[in-house]
Amino acid sequence: MHEVTLSARRREGRGKEQAKKLRDNAQIPGVVYGHGKPAVAITINSQDLLPLFRAGARDNTIITLKLDGADKGLTAIVRDIQTEPIFNKLTHIDFQEILLTEKIKVPVHIELTGEAPGLKEGGIIEHILHTVEVSCLPTDIPDKIVLDVSGLKLGHSLHISDIAAEKYQVLGAPTQPIVSVFAPRAAEEETAAAAPAAAAAPAEPELIGRKKTEDEELAEAEAAAKPKAKEKK
């Protein structure tokens, strides 16, 4: 869990023009809501937000938000960040007020560690689920969830049910795969193509229609001549 203190000011003006003027002056518009209180429109200096992003886990950061220079701040987490699509510049930020004694739901990044034995068998590892939602007290939010793939063989997977959670509850379907080791597609296609061919081929060649050898033809001629010689006697 990371902790950051931010200073913010209440803002009166609303609308796109007002928001643009704020951003032109290095101010980021935002809002604070939660616990049945009316939403409060705020503005934060863009430079003051740097510690939040340097934390490297903004979704898991507990924020002390001080409004208008107040000595005591309210406790909050980031709920939404909006950016413009071209230059990825921050345009708006939403905070949710929380209580340290109440559980919340937050996304947590999944990190893989170890080397899967299936890779030595020619397999390819696929990281399917990169984040998972957990429910816990704010002080128990994990920085990340580390999953060991050292036991993954070819064709095997790890699922949400394989996460060893202690102070938090992992949400989602237990059978949801997180990481898998599978055979390359080309190898699968070759195996699939070879299977019908092997099934169609006879186990042993049939003798029908086989050209007879000279010895076989001679033996048949001798066998056919013996009864006739007996009749002449």
Q: Where are the domains of the chain?
A: 2-98, 105-186
Contacts of 108 (CB under 8 A, 6+ apart): 59, 60, 131, 132, 133, 134, 141, 142, 144, 145
- Range with top average pLDDT, 2-6, 21-25, 171-175: 171-175
d(CA 94, CA 33): 8
d(CA 23, CA 94): 15
Label residues 90-114 b or e (16+ Cβ within 10 Å = b): bbebbbbbbeeeeebebebbbebee
d(CA 64, CA 62): 7
**Annotation: CATH topology of 2-98:** Ribosomal Protein L25; Chain P (2.40.240)
Q: How confident is the model at residue 98 (pLDDT cuts 50, 70, 90)?
A: very high
Q: What pLDDT sits at residue 65?
A: 93
Give me the mean pLDDT over the 100-108 stretch: 93
Contacts of 75 (CB under 8 A, 6+ apart): 62, 63, 64, 65, 97, 98, 99, 100, 138
Q: What pLDDT sits at residue 108?
A: 93
Q: What pLDDT sits at residue 232?
A: 44
Of the candidates 112, 175, 154, 107, the residue with the CA atom closest to the CA atom of residue 135: 107
d(CA 124, CA 122): 7
User: Using one digit for the tens of pLDDT, what is the confidence trace for 178-199?
Assistant: 999 999 875 555 555 555 555 5
User: Using one digit for the tens of pLDDT, what is the confidence trace for 114-155?
Assistant: 999 999 989 999 999 999 999 999 999 998 999 999 999 999
Q: How confident is the model at residue 21 (pLDDT cuts 50, 70, 90)?
A: confident
Model-level pTM? Answer: 0.70
Q: How confident is the model at residue 222 (pLDDT cuts 50, 70, 90)?
A: low
Q: How confident is the model at residue 208 (pLDDT cuts 50, 70, 90)?
A: very low
User: Using one digit for the tens of pLDDT, what is the confidence trace for 155-177?
Assistant: 999 999 999 988 999 999 999 99
- For the structural domain made of 105-186, what CATH number should be given? 2.170.120.20
